[in-house]
Structure 1
């Protein structure tokens, strides 16, 4: 016989899983372009977290990364280990290839077409943000 406590725990786990799935759902998943249109990142789930991988980089962006000694830009995971921090906010690490370093980061879904990506140093005392825009049709393509 299943106890009421077991049922309550199972119900709580199902509710938590549904909340996590909706927080990382299709609203934030897709392909996003940085402000210059030089890099596009495909976001999606990586296990129970959110991540983003470079699917397009302009020749200049690739050359700049190579000049800095970074690995090939396309295929690099820039957004790493993000967990839902609210209904449209996530916290994780942003990897900066030309610095070969990861920084504390938040992303916020501003609207269906705009993603605010912030990276911070010194324990969050200094942060820089960019507005990324959704690539039409959800596919990687050059925007500029």
Structure 2
């Protein structure tokens, strides 16, 4: 009986560990914006998820942008069902917007809005890993 409970506890603990990873975690490829795109590493930051620019690319290939290491996705708090709310920084104009994000499988949809959400810009990102 002891071994049954120990085995059950181990299975539950492993399932909990596998389930604990946030679906937004990983590396994502942005859409092209102003002639360039990036790989963004999404990781937990407190109770939220944040994304940092890891690599940058343009039409000639990978290049060393001054934005590498900067936070692009800021404090995205899970709302349930793959939805998040937080902020988004747009490097091309150095502005921070009200952000919303949804993750479904290997697709991340991100929007940055102004004027209380009346004017928004959207992108779809694909999972790199």
- What are the ranges of 5 or more consecutive residues in structure 1 without an aligned counterpart? 1-17, 66-71, 139-144
Superposed, 1:4-19 pairs within 5 Å as none
TM-score by length of 1: 0.66
Computed over aligned residues only, the root mean square deviation of the Cα atoms, in angstroms, reads 2.4
Aligned-pair distance for 1:78?
Answer: 0.2
Provide the residue aligned with 1:56 in structure 2: 55
TM-score with structure 2 setting the length:
0.73
> RCO greater where, 1 or 2, for CA within 8 Å and sep 6 or more?
1
Number of residue pairs the alignment of both structures matches: 107
Q: Which has the higher helix share?
A: 1
Aligned to 2:7: none
* Equivalent position of 1:84 in the other structure: 78
Pick the structure with more strand per residue: 2
Which consecutive unaligned segments of at least 5 residues does structure 2 have?
Answer: 1-15
Runs (4+) of structure 1 exceeding 3 A deviation are 59-63
